[in-house]
Amino acid sequence: MHAKIPPVSITIAGSDCSGGAGIQADLKTFQALKCYGASVLTALTAQNTQGVQSVFPIPASFVAEQLYSLFNDIPINSVKIGMIHNESIIKIISKILQEKKAENIIVDPVMIAKSGHALLSQGAVEALKIELLKLSLCVTPNIPEAEILAGMNIQNKDDIYKAAKLIQKFCPNVLVKGGHYFSEDNLVNDFLLLEDGQEHWITYPRILSTNTHGTGCTFSAAIAAFLARRENLLNSVNKARNYLQKAIQNGVKMNIGKGCGPVDHSGLMG
């Protein structure tokens, strides 16, 4: 009798003790999409649905120990990278991923929490672009993050396209998430620019919900999960977006905390 080896995704990110974002959201997403999930902690946060109260970064040397522990034991099919906090952590992650020839790396460039709390230290943005994005398959910034990476303001769909082209200098495939851009037709317009020049607008009806904590983490983790299941990038993005839409819709019914609540990763309220 042969043992079954499931697809494996790892998340390299910060902890959200309220469970809505960070590694907690990533692991819930991996499980929901039938992937085995493992994690590498880069920071501890004290946060809840109302905001981030404090961030405690993990020493880069211990981040390295976690990475070596996983890569030296478990066959890893995809990597999702979220909150990485500072330059020293970025550099050690980049070194080890390159050394281990990691594949299917998705970077969600977490910079600012929904509450406005900075989650990436000053000076780390350049290290992110130069050290890490070049190793990655795809980067998934939201509008504010795309503005920082591209060095421009985004006001409309043309600006989203221009920003994606600028970010593509650092990473071959770029997904700009359009949730922060409010169009008159009340649609969410995500834009995927592929390495071969293909352009894909992925459009969904905007769901009116106060429970959107962790949507970016969930989206990127879902992409990594589908990549681990041997889907190509375009299919992974489309299927991940479908999953996120259902998670947001189901999450409308949730009542967790006093602020911006989480999405429903596992259909608890569906």
Asked, for residue 269, whether it belongs to a domain, the answer is no
Mean pLDDT split into 10-residue runs, the chain, 270 residues = 86 97 97 98 95 93 98 98 93 98 96 67 85 97 94 94 97 92 80 98 93 95 98 98 96 93 85
pLDDT at residue 5, rounded to an integer: 87
pLDDT at residue 239, rounded to an integer: 98
On whether the pTM is more than 0.85, the answer is yes
pLDDT at residue 123, rounded to an integer: 76
Catalytic-labelled residue, pool 217, 251, 260, 261: 217
Enclosing domain of residue 108: 8-251
Asked, for residue 262, whether it belongs to a domain, the answer is no
Question: String of b and e for 49-69 (b: at least 16 CB within 10 Å)?
Answer: beebeebebbebeebbebbee
pLDDT at residue 270, rounded to an integer: 61
Q: Is 179 marked active-site?
A: no
CB count within 10 Å of CB 98 equals 13
pLDDT at residue 113, rounded to an integer: 64
Asked, for residue 146, whether it belongs to a domain, the answer is yes
CATH assignment of the domain containing 125: 3.40.1190.20
Asked, for residue 266, whether it belongs to a domain, the answer is no
pLDDT at residue 220, rounded to an integer: 98
Contact by Cβ (8 Å): 250, 267: yes
Asked, for residue 259, whether it belongs to a domain, the answer is no
Catalytic-labelled residue, pool 14, 22, 178, 216: 216
pLDDT at residue 116, rounded to an integer: 62
Please tell me the total count of domains within the chain: 1
Q: Is 171 marked active-site?
A: no
